[in-house]
Amino acid sequence: MGRLSSSRVQRACVRGAATSRPGGGYCSGAFSGPLDGLWNPRCLPPEPPGATEAAYAREQTRAALSFAGDHLTDLPRVATIRVFRVFGIYKPGGTAFLEAGETRNGDWQRAAGVVTWVFLPFAVAGIVGLVRARRRVAPLLGWGGTALVLVALTNGNGRQRLMFEPVLAILVAAAPLVLARRPRPEIPYVQEPEVVPSRELMPSR
């Protein structure tokens, strides 16, 4: 088996880590066009020679904040597109095609989006079941909300959906609680009639 050089491994790690940083999602190519809402490698600033990964990450963040400050009115629209990309609402075919180039299969990408939408109603039912069972749902919803914010701030790459899938699976598994905990029918209370002793049964004095 061939040995990978340390420089190749380092470059691969940097490329993988960069997809989760905001640098690749803040430029005109990620705000409009076929890659709107996605990660665009052309958004990344030039890497200074000899710069460490941490220093290059800070440079990406600085460039992203600078671009965001100049396009404040576009941020709500792009953040919505990113979220819609992740859940297959916005350009699902284009997203699957583009991500298939990253050693993925376009058909499986589209199928994953369909499965997510099929499970969503059951997840809602799971929330209802947990609330009825008086279980804590705040940690699950908090995790999902945090993941939603991260997607809105970074990019709408399909792999970001992995952050939601554990929450989705737990809520789907909790869906039977809706049926298992049906409210019991109320039984009307009937007051027993007061028994008055008969004079014939009363002892004589």
SS (H, E, C) 142-201: HHHHHHHHHHHHCCCCHHHHHHCHHHHHHHHHHCHHHHHCCCCCCCCCCCCCCCCCCCCC
For residue 201, with 0-12 CB atoms within 10 Å meaning exposed, 13-18 middle and 19 or more buried, which class applies? exposed
* Contact call for residues 48 and 165 (beta carbons, < 8 A): no
pTM for the whole structure: 0.70
Burial status of residue 40 (CB atoms within 10 A of its CB: 0-12, 13-18, 19 or more): buried
Question: CA dihedral in degrees (78, 82, 84, 89; nearest 10)?
Answer: 100
Domain-by-domain residue ranges, the chain? 7-70, 74-181
pLDDT score recorded for residue 72: 93
Q: Are 75 and 149 in contact (CB under 8 A)?
A: no
Residue type, 159: R
Amino acid at 177: L
Q: What is the pLDDT of residue 14?
A: 40
Closest to 160 (Cα-Cα) out of 53, 10, 19: 19
The pLDDT assigned to 193 comes to 64
What is d(CA 75, CA 26) in angstroms, rounded to the nearest whole number? 10
Sequential pLDDT tens for the chain (205 residues): 344 343 443 343 344 444 445 678 898 989 998 889 998 888 888 888 888 888 888 888 888 999 999 999 999 999 999 999 988 888 888 888 877 776 677 788 788 778 888 888 899 888 888 888 888 888 888 888 888 898 999 888 878 888 888 888 889 988 887 666 655 556 665 566 666 555 555 555 5
